[in-house]
Structure 1
Amino acid sequence: MTAPKSRLSFLPSPGSTTPYWLAETEQPLAKHRTTSDLPKEVDVLIIGSGYSGTSVAFNLLVEEQYEGSVLMLEARTTCSGATGRNGGHFRSYYNLRSHEFETKYGKETAADLASFEHYESNRIKKIVKKYGIDCDLKESESIQTLDHDAMTTKGLKDYYAFVSNPFIPAEVKKVVKVYWAEEAAQVSDHPGTEMAVVVPTLSLWPYKLITGLLQKALDVGLNLQTYTPVTYVDPLDDGRTKVSTPRGEVIAKKVVFATNGYTKAILPEFTTKIVPR
């Protein structure tokens, strides 16, 4: 019988491969440690330096000007997990699955889902411009092609559910363009296309975006510690949390787990809830 794995074996591998997105750019924050030693106590401790962890740190310290102490722990180099391996295609789906969402959750929730990505992509553009983040951001268009009866029928249901939903703002609806038959084939450059849905999209370099935002957070007080994996998290009786690492322990008032597929290594209760693919 095979012995069960230690949950610590689910921590990020120290010998991971280097993806193109990291190999082809400078990495000034790769091995960054703001202080030589870990602080004994902090107000907020963030585990993980990718999209989620950096978003929390950036919004707390830069956007909200939070005055408490914020510590970020990264098991390997900065932004070396899924975010550093992301190709950066930022596509909002708008009408896609609108009929399904409306049937399952109602018109208001379907509208929230359709509108969320539109406004988030606009927010990304505004943040990049406001803070001068060099991340190779480019605006473009994405085309969804439907080329047989079953797909076209579903596409029509989704599109009409989208345009007829009274809770979706007109400014969101108007950015979705639909083409039919010969025009659809011409727009998509794909013979046989019966319906083509064109929506705005973005492309960017995620590693550059996130490390750019991370630097802004560092400039206003974030303490970043790389090569510091969290091995145990223990709630204390006073509501605080003791976080253990190979470099020592930190007591935190709040802990943010931005650990993606590695969550089960420190929160075993999520073993069957967050499953990496």
Structure 2
Amino acid sequence: MASCTTVGVTPVAGPTFSYWRKDGGHLENFRSTSDLPRVQDIVIIGSGLTGAACAYYISQTAGSSSIPTTTVLEAREVCSGATGRNGGHLRPEALASFSKFSETLGLDSANEIALFEVANAEAVKELVQTEGIDCDYTQVESANVYLDGSLASAAKSQIGELARSGYDIVGKIQFHENPHEAEDVTGVLGAKAAATFPAASIWPYKLAVHLLKIAMSKGVQLQTHTPAQCISSTPNDNGYWVISTPRGDMMAKTVIFATNGYTPNLLPEYAGTIIPVRGICSHIQAVNTSNPAPVISETIKTMGIKHSPGCQDYLITRPDGSIVVGGAWKAVRPGPRDDWYNVIDDSQLIPAAVNYYDGFMQRTFATWENEPSEVDYLWTGIMGV
């Protein structure tokens, strides 16, 4: 066994079932070999987008006969963590980056971070096109919609500061400060203002799984239902880290933790630095499926709806007209903090938000006011914050 004083808590069994995983696939419970390989150059813990991307780029470093021996460990089904549970956004949000980082890092650094997000979105687009990945990648116009006057004023002030300072990122943002215009552009009832900008939406599960398939075709192994329970605190005499699993120990020269909110369970030094937060998300469709679902807006297809400081919903329109919307912080934050903060259990819903998305479309969008809808998927997921 690995020289660990304690065995870390692993992801729970029986997680809520997300819309993104409804089609599944042959990798759901896949194991490349019946027995674990005992020695590898690299072990990647986690098969979400981070782990899949690491495996993909490792597999691209050389010919398939000379890539480092690499195994991806997944505690449950493939991509069953945050990537298989998120809101489907590929959304560089410059204003949020500036407000988050400018006070502590300065405007120049905040601008670099915002531009990095834009570049990352473009890199994903190029990767999807190069590899022919079927993941519903869709370029869209996105919006931050402000239902709170103070948030609208702060966004206007932020954009003005960026414009005066000459930052290029402001050229990607259009601000609608007239409430009537904001409501007309976004379709959101009661909008005080809106900022719109280019973004994209994707089927995140399909993107990650496709990258894993490419990596596996080059020799990378995948081992599902194989949780890493602990990692040796130091390498052994031969320079290998020891990873303990219920199927036996593995040794690796390099261990990559693609574990998001679960990281402190394996690396206790990150407790208090990476906090697991339980979020909630849903899939909504029109009840009358014989007619096309109403569009939320003629131009805006994804958005963040800012109700008040710290309370928002995030939404994408799927190609079939259905809606994926998550957040529900307006309902969650007034409830018990223990329901969502420092929680790794995604097998349970957040009680305060169980009914939040019933009637959400009707009370939020003018075009849906008279359109019956149903929440056919409701799930939770663990985010690392």
Is the structural similarity TM-score above 0.5? yes
Match of 1:3 in 2: none
Size of the aligned set, in residue pairs, is 268
Deviates more, 1:152-161 or 1:74-83: 152-161
Match of 2:207 in 1: 209
Question: CA separation in 2, counterparts of 1:262 and 1:144?
Answer: 29
Matched letter for residue 110 of structure 1: A
1:84 paired with 2:84, answer: yes
TM-score, normalised to structure 1, is: 0.87
Give the Å deviation of 1:271. 3.2
Give the Å deviation of 1:69. 0.9
TM-score, normalised to structure 2, is: 0.64
Question: CA separation in 1, counterparts of 2:184 and 2:23?
Answer: 37
Gaps of 5+ in 2: 278-385
Deviates more, 1:11-20 or 1:34-43: 11-20
Match of 2:327 in 1: none
Out of 158, 176, 197, which is 2:173 matched to?
A: 176
SS at match of 1:27: coil
The sequence identity of aligned pairs, in percent, is 35
Match of 1:160 in 2: 160
Tell me which protein shows more helix as a share of its residues: 1
Deviates more, 1:179-188 or 1:227-236: 179-188
Tell me which protein shows more strand as a share of its residues: 2
1:225 paired with 2:223, answer: yes
Match of 2:267 in 1: 267
Match of 2:71 in 1: 71
Give the Å deviation of 1:129. 0.7
Match of 1:145 in 2: 145
Distance 1:244 1:109, change over 3 A: same
Deviates more, 1:39-48 or 1:63-72: 63-72
SS at match of 2:102: helix
Give the Å deviation of 1:238. 4.1
Deviates more, 1:197-206 or 1:141-150: 141-150
Match of 1:36 in 2: 34
Distance 1:15 1:126, change over 3 A: same
Question: CA separation in 1, counterparts of 2:68 and 2:42?
Answer: 8
| RMSD between aligned residues | 2.4
Q: Deviation per CA, 1:109-130: give whole Å up to 9, x if none.
A: 1111211211111111111111
SS at match of 1:96: helix
Deviates more, 1:187-196 or 1:66-75: 187-196
Q: 1:43·1:253 contact (CA, 8 Å) conserved in 2?
A: yes
SS at match of 2:175: strand
SS at match of 2:124: helix
Q: 2:49·2:207 contact (CA, 8 Å) conserved in 1?
A: no
SS at match of 2:60: helix
Distance 1:63 1:116, change over 3 A: farther
Question: CA separation in 2, counterparts of 1:19 and 1:114?
Answer: 30
Question: CA separation in 2, counterparts of 1:29 and 1:100?
Answer: 38
Match of 2:373 in 1: none
Q: 2:152·2:194 contact (CA, 8 Å) conserved in 1?
A: no
Q: 2:140·2:199 contact (CA, 8 Å) conserved in 1?
A: yes
1:50 paired with 2:45, answer: no
Q: Deviation per CA, 1:149-187: give whole Å up to 9, x if none.
A: 522321122112333444x4x4x4432112232433432
